Structure formats: C-alpha cells, structure tokens
C-alpha cells in the first residue's frame, strides 16, 4: 500500500526540521515537496546540516511557493504541513485546502475560533471563511473531531503545556474560579525560531533567564483562555508569564489555581488520568515532578500536581519538548487520528536521555 505524499511549507526552520525528522520515521508518510521563502533554491542538506548525506532528503531542493501553485500540487501530494508566519500560513494553507489537500497548520491562523479575537491579536485574517472548518489539534481533547478532519489547527507550544494540566481540573470542578488562574512558563530558546537575534545569541541567553511579553501581552494568551473556558463552561482569563530559559529545547509550565475545599493531589491525578488517557502523556505519581530533560526529543508530556493547603492553591506542572509535543510531533499525532491510525505512529515515545 502506497504511503501518503507530504508537502512541507516552511521546511527551513526548527519546526520544519523537526517535521522532516518525524515524517522520515513515519511508516505511512513520504516527503515529496519542501517549500521555503528565503532559502528557496537551496538543498535541504545545505539548509539543515543534520540532513547532509541522508539519502532521499539531502538533495531535495527547497521550492518557492505561492497561492497559484496549490493547484499544481493537487495530484502530487495528499497532505501539507504549513509551518509559516501567521497570515502567510492561512493564505497559502487556504489555497492548498481549496485544492483538495489536507492541511495541518502550525501557525496561529486557525487556532482561535472567534474572528474578532484573532484580529485583536494578529490583525486581519486572510481566510476567515475557514475558521469554522478547522479542528483544534490537541489529540487527547479532540480525538473524535479529528477523525477525517481536512483542516487542522496545530496548538501552540505554551498553550499545550498550560491546557493539558488545567483541563482535567476544570472539567472535574476541582478548582474555584473566584481568583485568576496563573500560568508561568519557561521555554528553551528554539521557541523563538531560527532567525538570529541578539536576545538569543549564546553569550546573552546561556547564563540568564528573562521574562518577556508579560501582563497579558503574549499572543498565546487568548488560545489558552479559549480552551480552558471550553473546559470550565464559562469565560476565564489567565495571567500568563513566558520566560526564556538557557536551554535549546523544552518547556516547563506551572499553573496555579484556587483549590476546592479539601482537595488532595490524588484527586487531581485521578482527574488527569480520566481525561488524558494517552500513550504519550505520563501522569506522574504524587511526589514525582516533571523534568524537561525527561521529554526531550519525544512526543511525550509529563504532568504532575501538588496542593498547598497553607495557601489553598493547587499547582499543576507540565513539561514538553516545544519543538516536538509543542509543535511537530503533536501535528503528526493529529494527522494520525485524522487518518484512523494509532496516535503515536511515527512519534518518538521515549525521550533522549541524557
């Protein structure tokens, strides 16, 4: 039986490179087209040094792509991943969708269901007509909706790490909502993308930590709020603080909420196990804490809980690899479910250790 033919737009970035690695591991996928903007005309081996000498990939040439090329790909590919900046991803991904190609978008363009919310945070939407068609690609929460989905909005890395520990608490009514929920996240520098910048230069990033886009100004804020509001059945807001950590990959997110009277950590763990039943999520036993090293390079998430009786707060903790579970591996998982395959097909279940 032939494998699905895959196109990847935005192949030269970190997310694109991770997707190439995972597509190569997948028994049902074959990468046949790679597109890029600045790097068009170069080979993959030149742009992604890890691919140098890899037969079948190293000499693939990155092609430029615009909306008019979508029809030309109709007979060449079955599915396309778009790892492009917002707006560009919707425009080009929309053209591929119109051409009958399944699209998995790794930008924010189809994550927010409300057009007004999107335009508040990102500006005019190139394809608002497609918002209602998109399925949010967090596999453990939207498995049924992903079956047969043709347009999948792959979640952001920070939102994934916040939504996973919060949704079980909210669905089970284990927290009170009279105080704001706090989301505190530390991310590796690769989350900022591959384009060089002073803030990501080794001497400035390797031995310090810094918050950025604080006090509700980070664009992932509405995505977190959207999904936890669905879980709670009412509109919720969060105080989200992202921070840059001196590591290349990984996210550690701690979420804080007011605990229901008498709540114990075991109640949180039971709720998480009932909601997040997955080959790729580890619910750690009480007293064990997540570690970014223990998920590095894998599609796995680690989740733990603790209750502070003194302050009345519950702490949910989550670690993921921002490039894998936070982006590319999660996109593969969503594709798997959309095609009726096992969730973890082609996705590394074991982290690189050490």
Torsion of the alpha carbons at 68, 71, 73 and 74, rounded to the nearest 10: 160
Contacts of 221 by beta carbon, 8 Å cutoff, 6+ apart? 121, 238, 240
Contacts of 203 by beta carbon, 8 Å cutoff, 6+ apart? none
**Crossing angle (nearest 10°) for helices 157-171 and 265-275:** 110
Question: What secondary structure does DSSP assign to 137-148, as a single string?
Answer: --TTTSHHHHTT
Residue 170 predicted with pLDDT over 90:
yes
**Which entry of 154, 157, 268, 333 is annotated as an active-site residue?**
157
Instruction: Mark whether 318 is an active-site residue.
Output: no
pLDDT of residue 354: 85
* Overall average pLDDT of the 50-69 stretch: 93
Tokens describing residue 346: 């082609």
Burial class of residue 312, CB neighbours in 10 A (0-12, 13-18, 19+): middle
pLDDT of residue 196: 67
What pTM was estimated for this model as a whole?
0.95
Residue 348 predicted with pLDDT over 70:
yes
CATH class of the domain whose range is 158-322:
alpha beta
CATH number of this structure's domain 4-133? 3.40.50.720
Q: pLDDT digit string (tens) for 126-145?
A: 999 999 999 999 999 999 99
Residue 179 predicted with pLDDT over 90:
no
As a whole-number percent, the residues of the chain with pLDDT over 90 amount to 86
Model confidence at 201, pLDDT cuts 50, 70, 90, reads: confident
The residue ranges of every structural domain in the chain are: 4-133, 158-322
Residue 38 predicted with pLDDT over 90:
no
Q: Which of 196, 146, 208 is nearest to 340 (CA)?
A: 146
pLDDT of residue 1: 63
Task: Please provide the average confidence, as pLDDT, over all residues in the chain.
Answer: 94
pLDDT of residue 193: 67
* Overall average pLDDT of the 14-32 stretch: 96
């Amino acid at each position: 039986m032939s494998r699905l033919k895959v196109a990847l737009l935005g192949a030269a970035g970190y997310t694109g490179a991770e997707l190439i690695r995972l597509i190569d591991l997948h028994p049902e996928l074959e990468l046949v087209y790679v597109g890029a903007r600045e790097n068009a005309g170069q080979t993959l081996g030149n742009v992604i040094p890890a691919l140098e000498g890899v037969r079948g990939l190293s000499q693939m040439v990155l092609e430029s792509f615009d909306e008019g090329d979508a029809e030309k790909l109709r007979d060449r590919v079955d599915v396309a991943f778009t790892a492009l900046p917002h707006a560009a991803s919707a425009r080009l991904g929309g053209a591929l969708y119109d051409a009958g190609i399944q699209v998995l978008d790794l930008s924010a363009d189809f994550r927010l269901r409300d057009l007004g919310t999107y335009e508040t945070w990102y500006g005019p939407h190139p394809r608002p007509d497609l918002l209602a068609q998109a399925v949010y690609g967090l596999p453990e929460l939207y498995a049924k909706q992903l079956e047969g989905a043709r347009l999948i909005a792959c979640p952001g890395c920070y939102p994934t790490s916040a939504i996973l520990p919060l949704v079980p608490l909210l669905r089970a009514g284990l927290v009170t909502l009279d105080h704001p929920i706090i989301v505190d996240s530390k991310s590796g520098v690769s989350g900022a993308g591959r384009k060089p910048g002073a803030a990501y230069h080794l001497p400035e990033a390797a031995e310090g930590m810094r918050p950025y886009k604080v006090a509700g100004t980070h664009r992932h804020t509405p995505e977190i709020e959207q999904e936890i509001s669905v879980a709670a059945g009412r509109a919720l807001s969060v105080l989200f603080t992202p921070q840059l950590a001196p590591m290349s990959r990984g996210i550690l997110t701690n979420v804080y909420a007011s605990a229901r009277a008498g709540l114990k950590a075991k109640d949180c763990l039971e709720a998480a196990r009932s909601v997040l039943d997955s080959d790729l999520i580890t619910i750690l036993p009480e007293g064990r804490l997540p570690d970014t090293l223990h998920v590095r390079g894998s599609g796995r998430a680690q989740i733990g809980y603790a209750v502070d009786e003194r302050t009345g707060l519950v702490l949910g903790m989550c670690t993921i690899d921002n490039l894998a579970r936070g982006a590319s591996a999660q996109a593969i998982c969503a594709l798997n479910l959309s095609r009726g395959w096992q969730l973890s097909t082609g996705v590394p279940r074991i982290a690189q250790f050490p």
